[in-house]
Amino acid sequence: MKKLGIIGAGQLGFMMILESKGLPISFNVLTDNINDPACKVADRIYTSKEYVSFVDDSDIVTFEFEHVDENALKYADMKDKLRPNLK
């Protein structure tokens, strides 16, 4: 099963996860607010302090809004997991 990491856990992440529930994908989210909508349906929740584990535990990483953890973006890009990438 592929693991998709989503930086952010808002309404867009929530809808993305709900629409993909029948697919062989598990979802990791990176957020500091466990009350964010996507946390209710994500398989695993990471805080910004855990961004290295979040990226390492995800096959692909994407983001769902513009206010994202810069360290997580750069680390995911360095690991060639960020889609779209920073290049």
What is the structure's pLDDT at 87? 83
Prediction pTM value: 0.93
What pLDDT is attached to residue 27?
98
How confident is the model at residue 34, as a pLDDT?
96
Residue at 50 is within a domain:
yes
56 membership: H or E segment, kind and range: helix 51-56
* CATH number of the domain within which 49 lies: 3.40.50.20
Residue 28, in any domain of the structure: yes
Residue 87 lies in a domain: no
Q: How many domains does the chain have?
A: 1
pLDDT at 46: 98
* Residue 21 is assigned to a structural domain of this protein: yes
The answer to whether residue 9 is domain-embedded is: yes
Per-residue pLDDT of the chain (87 residues), as tens digits, is 999 999 999 999 999 999 998 999 999 999 999 999 999 999 999 999 999 999 999 999 999 987 888 899 999 999 999 999 988
Cα→Cα distances 30→6, 74, 86, Å: 6, 14, 18
- For 11, the token pair is 């309404």
Q: How far does Cα 40 stand from its chain's mean position?
A: 14
The range of the structural domain enclosing residue 16 comes to: 2-78
- Residue 84 lies inside a defined structural domain of this protein: no
**In which residue are the tokens 């856990």 written?**
9
Place of tokens 């989503």: 6
Q: Is residue 72 included in any domain, yes or no?
A: yes
Sign for the CA dihedral angle at 42, 61, 81, 84 comes to positive
